[in-house]
Amino acid sequence: MRTSYRFVKPIAAVTGSLTLAATLTACGGSTAASDEKVVTMYSADGLKGEKSDGWYDKVFADFEKETGIKVKYVEGGSGEMVQRAVREKSNTQADVIVTLPPFIQQADSKGLLQAYTPNGSEQVDGADKADDGKWTSVVNNYFGFIYNKQQLKEAPKTWEELLDGRFRNKLQYSTPGVAGDGTAVVIKAMNDFGGQAPAMEYLKKLQANNVGPSSSTSKLAPKVDKGEILVANGDVQMNFAQSKSMPNLAIWFPAKEGARPTTFALPYAAGLVDKAPHAENGRKLLDFMLGEQAQREVSSIGGGFPARKDIKTTDTNAIELAELIEGVEIFEPDWADIDENLTTYVDAWKTATGS
């Protein structure tokens, strides 16, 4: 069992639910299924608006208007979506799956994805897509934390500060191994504290203040906004979008005492599902999400960062987002290591926290 964690040195310092309503045809890839004007997406939460005003809402409406294809949308934590797709391998339901790392890599390693290179993906950085075309990022994003800015005069600055008694039962983070952002807590802690052992030692101490598990990160923001809890994990895109209707939310990035705040890219990555019942429609949806119009609306509507490097956004949201992560050190996790050892890291977290 590997107990160490391989790190890539920081590469930059930034300066600038719906439920599936109907059972789909079981005959994966049949002509009848392929001719249906429908495409089913399984996705991590964050891109669909609470009031149907998110990036997905706009993309799905525009996609249906242009192609006549309706998107059936199923939402949950990244790990939850992968697990569901695994259970359905003998009767595939999803056409497209969108998750945060490392779960898109996990989906690939479990044989859930087939190769497809969407139009526009040549403009996506190599680190944000698979070499073999199994997946590509559609929205760039960064890991972060949120706090209630009404009840706290300023954001906590360090991990160590979160151990203070004033956060007892006022702190919560989503479950590692189930939610992508929850898994990101473990990844960032291992980076900031210098390995698995010291990270688990810290998370064991933090458990005294932790409210308990949450399968979905998006459910934590309303609790922070209402002051039920003061601090939670999240990601920049989702929380920035939520802050438009939750005025007490503010984003921050923890640092180890004596060090700079850090974060890492946590993009929404999409792949075409193996034996997808509506594979051609899935390809069209992937092309559409990486199209110029949809990518230009990632910041203005979705509160995220375009996945395509040739799309330069200058809207108000884009400017605010750039300012938000200015001066925050960005590191690049070793995703191959995390994919290979994810179970080990999650089990270590369960042991440390008694979860």
Give the pLDDT confidence score for residue 2 in this predicted structure. Answer: 34
- Integer angstrom CA distances of residue 58 from 71, 190, 215, 295: 12, 37, 26, 12
- What pLDDT digit, counting tens, does each position of 235-281 carry? 999 999 999 999 999 999 999 999 999 999 999 999 999 999 999 99
Structure tokens at 137: 């990022």
CA–CA separation, 250 vs 20, rounded Å?
A: 33
Mean pLDDT value across residues 117-144: 96
Reply yes or no on whether the pLDDT at 29 is more than 90: no
Residues 180, 346: contact at Cβ < 8 Å? no
CA–CA separation, 212 vs 172, rounded Å?
A: 6
Give the pLDDT confidence score for residue 36 in this predicted structure. Answer: 87
* Alpha helices, H only, the chain: 31-35, 55-67, 78-87, 103-109, 180-193, 196-206, 220-226, 236-242, 279-289, 292-300, 316-324, 335-353
* Distant-in-sequence, close-in-space partners of 87: CB < 8 Å, separation ≥ 6: none
Give the pLDDT confidence score for residue 33 in this predicted structure. Answer: 56
Give the pLDDT confidence score for residue 84 in this predicted structure. Answer: 97
Secondary element (H or E) of residue 100: none
Reply yes or no on whether the pLDDT at 12 is more than 60: no
- What pLDDT digit, counting tens, does each position of 188-230 carry? 999 999 999 999 999 999 999 999 999 889 999 999 999 999 9
Please spell the DSSP secondary structure of 136-181, one letter per residue. EEEEE-BEEEEEETTTSSS---BTGGGGSGGGTTSEE-PPTTTSHH
- What pLDDT digit, counting tens, does each position of 288-332 carry? 999 999 999 999 999 999 999 999 999 999 999 999 999 999 999
CA–CA separation, 338 vs 344, rounded Å?
A: 9
Which pTM value belongs to this model? 0.84
Residue found by looking up tokens 């309303």 in the block: 222
Mean pLDDT value across residues 151-174: 97
Reply yes or no on whether the pLDDT at 6 is more than 60: no
